[in-house]
Amino acid sequence: MTVQMTSTRSADRKRALRLTAALIGISVVLGACNHNRDLVMQADFPNDYRLRHPIAVQEADRSIVVFVGRGRGGLAATQRADVMSLAQDWMREGTGVISVDVPVDTPNARAAQDSLREIQATFAAAGLPPRATAVRRYRPEDPRHMAAIRLNYPRISAVAGPCGLWPEDIGPSIHNKSWFQNKPYYNFGCANQRNLAAMVDNPTDLVQPRPETPAYMPRRGIAFEKYRRGITTTTTYPESDRAKLSDTGK
């Protein structure tokens, strides 16, 4: 009888230990889920979405991929246009050399060398100096994927985000402090900032204005002379009469 009671107590003790371990594990998992929420809610975020989701100007890569078959080297017409466009953009916005990654020890390695020579010739035709490119060899990790030539260079770009953080429920709730304080929810305006950063042509325009170009003095002199003589300063465009409605049929 004593042996049976001892074994029962031992089983109850093991069951209690397993239950305690399970509760600790669940609490750890739930704590990890609320990690992002705690990070956001530790500080009172500003009402202005431009301060809550600022646009940062930093360096990022621009890249294109040139696929090469195993039986034909060189560039197709669309590939040649892509390479020429990348060269022209580098001259305008590039902040470093153009890295050209060429595959080796692949079925299309020989054709890739032919494509590389045409890429370099296209760069030379666009006016790029030889020191503007750096050729690197690489071996593909997965032989099932087609090995391609990768071209990339660093440039100044604008970024914002990340978006999609919802630390609080946007509906009425006793736990939602923003709803009681009539504040915008945290993710409000993030997508707009991210899209604006992606569409801006020159990221430095977000930081400072561009300098003004000098005025066109010949046209200014003509306008001032007409004003001094009492003549209208507007320009007459003869082709403007072509936009008038026809009187045919009246």
Q: How many independent structural domains does the chain possess?
A: 1
CATH of the domain at 63: 3.30.1330.60
- For 112, the domain range is 56-157
**232 in any annotated domain:** no
**177 in any annotated domain:** no
Give me the pLDDT at residue 39, please. Answer: 46
**121 in any annotated domain:** yes
Whose CA is closest to 114, among 158, 149, 150? 149
Give me the pLDDT at residue 11, please. Answer: 63
**69 in any annotated domain:** yes
Give me the pLDDT at residue 36, please. Answer: 47
The residue with tokens 């294109």 is 64
Q: Which residue ranges of the chain lie beneath pLDDT 70?
A: 1-14, 16-43, 177-179, 237-250
- Considering the entire predicted model, what is its pTM? 0.60
Contacts 24+ apart (CB under 8 A), 33-37: 36/165, 36/167, 37/167, 37/168
Give me the pLDDT at residue 249, please. Answer: 61
**50 in any annotated domain:** no
Give me the pLDDT at residue 240, please. Answer: 60
